[in-house]
Amino acid sequence: MEFAELIKTPRVDNVVLHRPFYPAVEGTLCLTGHHLILSSRQDNTEELWLLHSNIDAIDKRFVGSLGTIIIKCKDFRIIQLDIPGMEECLNIASSIEALSTLDSITLMYPFFYRPMFEVIEDGWHSFLPEQEFELYSSATSEWRLSYVNKEFAVCPSYPPIVTVPKSIDDEALRKVATFRHGGRFPVLSYYHKRNGMVIMRSGQPLTGTNGRRCKEDEKLINATLRAGKRGYIIDTRSLNVAQQTRAKGGGFEQEAHYPQWRRIHKSIERYHILQESLIKLVEACNDQTHNMDRWLSKLEASNWLTHIKEILTTACLAAQCIDREGASILIHGTEGTDSTLQVTSLAQIILEPRSRTIRGFEALIEREWLQAGHPFQQRCAQSAYCNTKQKWEAPVFLLFLDCVWQILRQFPCSFEFNENFLIMLFEHAYASQFGTFLGNNESERCKLKLQQKTMSLWSWVNQPSELSKFTNPLFEANNLVIWPSVAPQSLPLWEGIFLRWNRSSKYLDEAYEEMVNIIEYNKELQAKVNILRRQLAELETEDGMQESP
């Protein structure tokens, strides 16, 4: 297929662009295979370059011969184009609709993009499983790398290389894979060097209504326990939902077969419930009625902050089991590709200082989201405006980034990256010139040959000139475990994502100003805490010197 076939009118003059908080701009509108471009001859006017893949929905309206196209983007922007001539407007709208909904991944922009910067680092090879394994292999000899999934035959959504207990051979892993949803047998997610406890993740066990069991599965997860120790299984579904899945062949671990493990159910919503929550939230943020009560009511009705609280609470529970209880944990929901990854990732941010650095966080995204099989292509296919919803679309990754922002806001000196880094990841997950977030798992990315045919996001991000934009100037390495508050007053709306395009309303401005004040206060408080911490360390050192002979 040629893109020219879809572009009925490639260029229109005298088009007027309207954007919130910008003066109207008149210029020439051009359509290419991947971009909508509006350029103006006016001085000091930026060109608009919009990826077609960033377009979520469009609306058309006409007044006489003047046509108007309203473009709603996946990053929640809304822009308006006034186009002279009804035929031109209809042609442009038709082309945009076709180009923004291409069926073939190989027709998307990452396969055509050629970088204008010098590639210093190949991001595709920056965070390989072997490199990550070396980071903790010196602290323990109880784990090994398994290549059992080398051809993606055991588990299509797992990477070719996974970390498993050394005492479990590959044949046992194959048997366990037949007992877990989607073949997702328990694998190592995180090793806590301070006490040797681990986080494992998997899909649900396929116990069914007959209470099926798998002795290899029991042996595998018991291999992570120390002598005399108990472990916790955190199921990210309510007990009722978990019981209902047994009728479909799913289920949960029976206590009789896993006596050393205590099962805890923490309900985290999924799929259409999350998508509807996002739609309601964005609708509230676009409400221009200037009524504070209405705004707050809509915000509460969206339940977005409730989802944030549920996810963070479960992540804190997981971190508490590891750090305070000294117990290893296994985390799963149904598939193990959504809420499971939210919890394992956030628990590591709470526990592990490296995950709060730029490269450490990039490694976390690679390991716990991309390699772990989060289906980005499905989940991020549409955003908050599209009318044709599929059941698999959900803002799972955006919720995770929001949770990270909440922790960053509470501990502004403990993160090497800033808010812009998180916003950038959100934008590229939904529309990008890079191939990093294409596909639903490593198997699909291999078939698409993304490493050979596209550029990695990390190759661009990790340039010194770009890193400076994403670096937090307040960062001071903090090797402690950080415990975020999940109290409602501690979890505000992420204005950097949801209010950045529409802060014109008076009540939104007031809310934004209040959030900024809270953030500044927290920064000052954190700085004072760090000063006191250093002073205390100095006093302890002086006392030690006085006591020594």
pTM of the prediction?
0.91
Provide the residue count of the chain: 549
pLDDT, tens only, 140-152: 999 999 999 999 9
- Tell me: pLDDT of 41 over 90: no
Q: With helix as H, strand as E and coil as C, how does 501-525 read?
A: CCCCCHHHHHHHHHHHHHHHHHHHH
Buried b (16+ CB within 10 A) or exposed e, 471-505: ebeebeebeebbebebeeeebbbbbbbbbbbbbeb
The token duo for 536 is: 């205390």
> What is the mean predicted confidence (pLDDT) over 21-48?
90
The pLDDT of residue 418: 98
Euclidean distance between CA atoms 87 and 9, whole angstroms: 9
Lowest mean pLDDT among 131-140, 294-303, 391-400, 517-526: 517-526
Neighbours of 440 (CB within 10 A): 18
Lowest mean pLDDT among 46-60, 195-209, 321-335, 498-512: 498-512
3-class state of residue 15 by DSSP: strand
Task: Return the amino acid letter for 268.
Answer: I
pLDDT, tens only, 383-429: 999 987 778 999 999 999 999 999 999 999 999 999 999 999 999 99
